[in-house]
Amino acid sequence: MRAWDTAAVNYRHGFHAGNHADVLKHVVLLSVCARLMRKPGACFALDTHAGRGLYALDGAQAARTREADSGVRRLDSLASKLPALLRYREAIAACRAQHGPQAYPGSPWLLAHALRVQDRIACCELQPGEADILRANFRHDRRLVVHQRDGYAALPALLPPRTATDRFARGLVLIDPPYEAQLDEFDAALAALREGLGRWPQGVFLLWYPIKQGRALARFYRRSAQLPAASVFCAELLVREDDSPLRMNGSGVLLLNPPWQLDAELQPALSILRDALGEAGAQSRLEWLRAAA
């Protein structure tokens, strides 16, 4: 049995690997990485809720929910050549070539795939079993360090990022919590963003969030627009009507200090994902909550 196919934790992302939320989050993440790679200087990436980094879509957890069937598997025959979607599909193909046709990459794997030899990655995972699997999956990658600790609490320790001899001017922070206590999690995530921006104001920050009923997020949008970032936008994908508080009807990624013209790259990709993954009532949205001055 593969080490990345079993673990016992409270929140088990293996049940949801490759679903529509993963597709959105990972398309956005890879697009941010690609724009950061356009300059030669070293970058730093922090993943605050990393999980194990690699999943099996034919494993017991994913097979029980089959969420990937309405997510990543619907893109196997996608013909679009849009850079954001092509980049994502090429990363999936690279993961499958390395780990088998049923593998699906988590954000640590995608960061390791997208970044370069001079870049560094810090991954936080609180659950001991998941952290052990994450270490095993990346034991040969000297760029990536696993911290078994709460990702929110790690922000003051890990930001601003630096080595023994240098300080990283560029990079990103991905915050992808489980939202088990949804309202409290939004508050914690926004506080973490404020803390992170205070310590690393030039960093690109990404926060993934679930959408059950869109109208319930009005306070979240208002507070996000007040964060001390140069600019803020959200990219959202609803795969069905957001009319039920009992299920995840879509998700979004909040971006703080997004790279230049990232919105122009993501906008058409969101429309294609809406058509490919959506049911009746599906929507996509990219909205600036605060544009750069």
Nearest to 53 by CA among 148, 123, 158: 123
DSSP H stretches of helix in 100-140: 107-114, 128-137
**How many whole angstroms separate alpha carbon 93 and alpha carbon 258?**
27
**In contact, 97 and 90? CB cutoff 8 Å:** no
Q: Are strands 144-147 and 120-124 parallel, antiparallel or unpaired?
A: parallel
Instruction: Give the number of C-alpha atoms closer than 13 A to the C-alpha of residue 153, restricted to the C-beta side.
Output: 6
DSSP conformational letter for 48:
S
Peptide bond connecting 160 to the previous residue in cis, omega within 30 degrees of 0: yes
**How many whole angstroms separate alpha carbon 5 and alpha carbon 54?**
8
DSSP H stretches of helix in 160-280: 182-199, 218-225, 262-277
The secondary structure of 176-205 as a DSSP string is ----SSHHHHHHHHHHHHHHHHHH-TTSEE
Instruction: Show which residues are catalytic.
Output: 176
